[in-house]
Amino acid sequence: MNRRRFLKGSSALAGLFTLGPSVILANDVETISKKAKKAKNIIFLISDGMSCGTLQMADLYSQHILGKNTEWINLYKENKVSRALMDTASASSPVTDSAAASSSFGSGHRVKNGVLNIGLNGEKYLPIWQKFKNAGKKTGCVTTVTITHATPAGFCVNSDSRNAENEIAEMYAELGFDVMMGGGDEFFNPSKRKDKKDIYKIYEKKGYQVLKEKSDLENIKKGGKTLGIFANGALPYTIDQNNIPELQKTPTLAQMSAAAIDQMKDHKNGFVLLIEGGKVDWAAHANDIAALIHDQLAFDEAVKTAIDFAEKDKETLVIITTDHGNANPGLIYGANAKENFDSIADYKYTNEYILNSIHADFNLQQIKDWVKETNKISLTDDEAKHLKDFYSGLEKQEDGLYNYKKLPFKAYSEIQKKHNNVGWISMDHSGDYVELAMYGPGSELLKPFVQNKDLHYLMLQASIEKES
């Protein structure tokens, strides 16, 4: 595929070099085009809602408990990647939501929070995975939340609302993306949709193989279009999946990522793949340190999967970042900070699982015994009573994104902080600059400070092949 074919395949690329922000270019375009090898493939990894403290604590946990650095930090230590800070603002706020953040990558424009690739005056920007599909590449998305959620949708579709997940499920089928894997059975299953549409049947009629369990990945038809929906709602948190047998039918992010790469890697024109660790964001919203660390480590396994492929392939640009910070967790100074932090290794489950298992009829001793069993934390009577009051109606129920059952996440994280030295500034997104790393052909285009929307143009510039 030559450059003329690429430009013909997507009219939205016309004027790319004049429209694209110059901040992302290390040299002038002509010089780069002559000297730089182009990326045949792009793997874009997003740890959704990852503050810098999340990256640091996952690495610290990995060092202390697992005896090794994380893959992401090793890439820094071994000087294998280009590295930058990224400004994550949206058009409507210095603090973005995932829809606007993903749309900045998807469209090359900042849009207001809540929408997908729709401009401030109603413009519909052609999403980047459609551009690459029009140019002849295979396209895919893998996530630990619903496949129709804001981050994958921002690479793929236009919508006035990130919440239009029923419609987004249908849009994917119409657009014909090659590999889509995650959760969200309720948006495909006719027994769960209000309109009773069988979206699975639509995909099957278009030639997709539909996967429902981890074991299905072992029998996947090589190279065919694939829809993998492995859960109702989001996939389980990693720490729960590791410790609750009935959740182990669900694949990990790394397993889905490896399968997606394998499905697309032999395509003559290459592929583009989004990999999202979406539950990192949900854990941060819940101020749940065990969920946060273990899902960040699961994301890191997917990073390793991508880098291992790219090192062998030598034609793949790997982008590793987040879309925004969330809750800014961090390890707090104290005499026993190391020992307290390392005690997180004793946590068996997410706070969601622990708190869901407490009921209004529990007495104080039952609450204390349950917390001791699951976190090895010895509650005082006052702490146990404080928790009990949320279930008996004496304390106001907590709100919060993804806190569907109004569980006392904040109250419990404050109790845990006394024992693990981990603090949180909030239960919501933050506007901090975030980490960005790139490996492979095209990574030389990265400058030390970029805006999120710049990555759209960098991907296009990195992957345009030389004139034949």
For residue 27, the model assigns a pLDDT of 37
* pLDDT (0 to 100) of residue 396: 81
pLDDT at 327 over 70: yes
How far apart, in whole angstroms, are the C-alpha atoms of residue 88 and residue 151? 14
Q: What angle do CA 231, 234, 237 make, to 5 degrees?
A: 100
In terms of pLDDT, which residue wins out, 36 or 124?
Answer: 124
**32 pLDDT tier (thresholds 50, 70, 90):** very low
Closest CA to 145 of 243, 253, 53: 253
Residue 15 has pLDDT above 70, yes or no: no
How large is the C-alpha radius of gyration of the chain? 22
Please report where in the chains the tokens 């279009």 appear, as a residue.
225
Q: How far is CA 101 from the centre of its chain?
A: 12
193 token code pair: 């949709």
Nearest Cα residue to 128 out of 459, 443, 465? 459
Band (29; pLDDT cuts 50, 70, 90)? very low
Q: So what's the pLDDT on residue 18?
A: 36
**What domains, with CATH codes, occur in the chain?**
3-329+430-463 (3.40.720.10), 350-423 (no CATH)
Q: Which pLDDT belongs to residue 454? A: 98
- Is residue 13 pLDDT above 70, yes or no? no
Query: Amino acid identity, residue 360?
Result: A
In the prediction, which pLDDT does 36 show? 66
Q: Which of 92-101, 214-223, 249-258 has the lowest mean pLDDT?
A: 214-223
* Residue 103 near residue 96 (C-beta atoms within 8 A): no
Which bin fits 331, alpha (ψ -120 to 50), beta or left (φ > 0)?
Answer: beta
Q: Where are the beta strands (DSSP E) in 235-324?
A: 271-277, 316-321
Q: What is the pLDDT of residue 424?
A: 97
Q: Kindly report which listed range (16-20, 217-221, 384-388, 394-398) carries the lowest average pLDDT score.
A: 16-20
Nearest-angstrom CA–CA distance, 131 and 167: 21
- Give percent of the chain above pLDDT 90: 86
Section 318-346 average pLDDT: 97
b/e map of 29-52 (b: 16 or more CB within 10 Å)? beebbeebebbbbbbbbbbbbbbb
SS3 assignment, position 279 = helix
Report which secondary-structure segment, H or E, holds 371: helix 364-375
The predicted pLDDT at position 466 comes to 43
Residue 423 host element (H or E): strand 422-423
* Residue 21 reports pLDDT greater than 60: no
d(CA 412, CA 419): 11
Integer Cα distance of 325 and 369 in angstroms: 35
Contact 367, 354 (CB under 8 A): no
Which candidate, 234, 353, 342, 246, places its Cα nearest to that of 298? 234
Average pLDDT, the chain: 91
Least confident of 27-41, 207-221, 373-387, 399-413: 27-41
User: What is the H or E stretch that residue 43 is in?
Assistant: strand 41-47
Dihedrals phi, psi of 20, to nearest 5 degrees: -65, 140
Which of 20-24, 35-39, 50-54, 71-75 is the least confident region?
Answer: 20-24
| pLDDT at res. 178 | 98
What is the predicted pLDDT for the residue at 171? 97
- pLDDT at residue 53 greater than cutoff 90: yes
Split at pLDDT 50, 70, 90, the class of 403 is confident
pLDDT of the residue at 465: 52
Q: pLDDT, tens digit, for every residue of 153-211?
A: 999 999 999 999 999 999 999 999 999 999 999 999 999 999 999 999 999 999 999 99
For residue 405, pLDDT over 90 is answered with no
pLDDT in the model for residue 398: 77
Q: How many residues does the chain have?
A: 468
pTM of the complete model: 0.91
Task: Give me the mean pLDDT over the 401-409 stretch.
Answer: 83
State the pLDDT confidence band at 238, using cuts at 50, 70 and 90: very high
